[in-house]
Amino acid sequence: MEIFEKAHILISALPYFKKFYKKIMVIKYGGNAMVEESLKNAFAQDITLMKYVGIRPIIVHGGGPQISEVMSKMGLKPRFVEGQRVTDEETMSVVEMVLVGTVNKSIVSLINEAGGKAVGLSGRDGKLLEVEKMAIYKYTGEDRPPEIIDIGRVGKPKKVNPEVLYTLIEKDFIPVIAPVGVGPGGEAYNVNADLVAGAIASALSAEKLIYLSDVEGVKDEDGELISTLRFDEIEKLLEKGIATGGMIPKLKSARKALEAGVKKVHIIDGRIKHSLLIELFTDEGLGTQIIKEEDSLGRDAG
């Protein structure tokens, strides 16, 4: 009976294979899925399978814990303001070394070992990601101007030049992008990977923007998972403080992406093996999908 069950699973996924054929999907890869060996291997297999059924995946990865670990070994103390890493010249050298030189190449190797054709690059390659300096504004009281805090070489996306990505995906490569951008003088900037993923998905009008994280998905005020979140409900979660921590940049990025033409955003639990495949190719899914308009296929068409 097991062999017939396998056939049933494949047939049930067929509508999704058809719907997503040759569609671009941007996946932000982070959290435990980047650390635990079994999850890393499962992710590489998921990406490779997606590619072989005709999807065009583009990966943007994080690497915050790895940066902090290397900094500590070098005697440098990581500092954060409002969740952003303070990035001076010395820290920026470490950030680029770890993200581009170590983490990126490790992900590329995993995917290639799983049978895919991955190519690593950063936002500096081909001026893929042009950025502007990010400023942090601290509230100092009523009738007083906010304090502007300089956090160094931290940027926010200004312009995406996607030509290099189109070239790679047309040749059947899987781009793997480190979140390092290029400033106006050609200098490197540290950029939040969630924001990079959103900017790239927007520039490419991707079918989907998918965040793999260490949470089940978006929670409501009672702590319950929201299976489907509508675009106009995002503001409520932000204004009322229901969304906190790392969920804030994800929701803000999701909102911008949907406004720019991305069809759907997913926030899913990367701690679950093959969570990508479950979310994309089953009616039930397992995380939160964020939509503008409801579709007709299953749980809003994967």
Half-sphere exposure of 126 (CA within 13 A, CB side): 13
- 107-133 per-residue burial string, b: 16 or more CB within 10 A, e: under 16: bbebbeebebebbbbbbbbeebbbbee
Chain segment 47-87, per-residue pLDDT in tens = 999 999 999 999 999 999 999 999 999 999 998 887 789 99
Q: Is the pLDDT of residue 297 over 50?
A: no
Give percent of the chain above pLDDT 90: 63
Q: Is the pLDDT of residue 298 over 50?
A: no
Q: What does the chain look like in DSSP terms, one character per residue?
A: -HHHHHHHHHHHHHHHHHHHTT-EEEEEE-GGGGTSHHHHHHHHHHHHHHHHTT-EEEEEE--HHHHHHHHHHTTPPP-EETTEEPB-HHHHHHHHIIIIIIIHHHHHHHHHHTT--EEEEETTGGG-EEEEE--EEE---TTSPPEEE--BSEEEEEEE-THHHHHHHHTT-EEEEESEEE-TTS-EEEE-HHHHHHHHHHHTT-SEEEEEESSSS-B-TTS-B-SEEEGGGHHHHHHTT-S-TTHHHHHHHHHHHHHTT--EEEEEETTSTTHHHHHHHSSS-SSEEEESS--SSTTT--
Q: Is the pLDDT of residue 122 over 90?
A: yes
Q: Is the pLDDT of residue 11 over 90?
A: no
Mean pLDDT across 26-38: 89
pLDDT for position 296: 43
Domains along the chain with CATH numbers: 22-291 (3.40.1160.10)
Chain segment 269-293, per-residue pLDDT in tens = 999 999 999 989 987 778 899 998 6
Higher pLDDT, 125 or 250: 125
pLDDT band at 299 (very low <50, low <70, confident <90, very high): low
Q: Report the distance separating Cα 52 and Cα 64, nearest Å.
A: 30
pLDDT for position 1: 55
pTM listed for this prediction: 0.90
pLDDT for position 253: 87
Chain segment 197-253, per-residue pLDDT in tens = 999 999 999 999 999 988 888 998 888 899 999 988 998 898 888 888 778 888 988
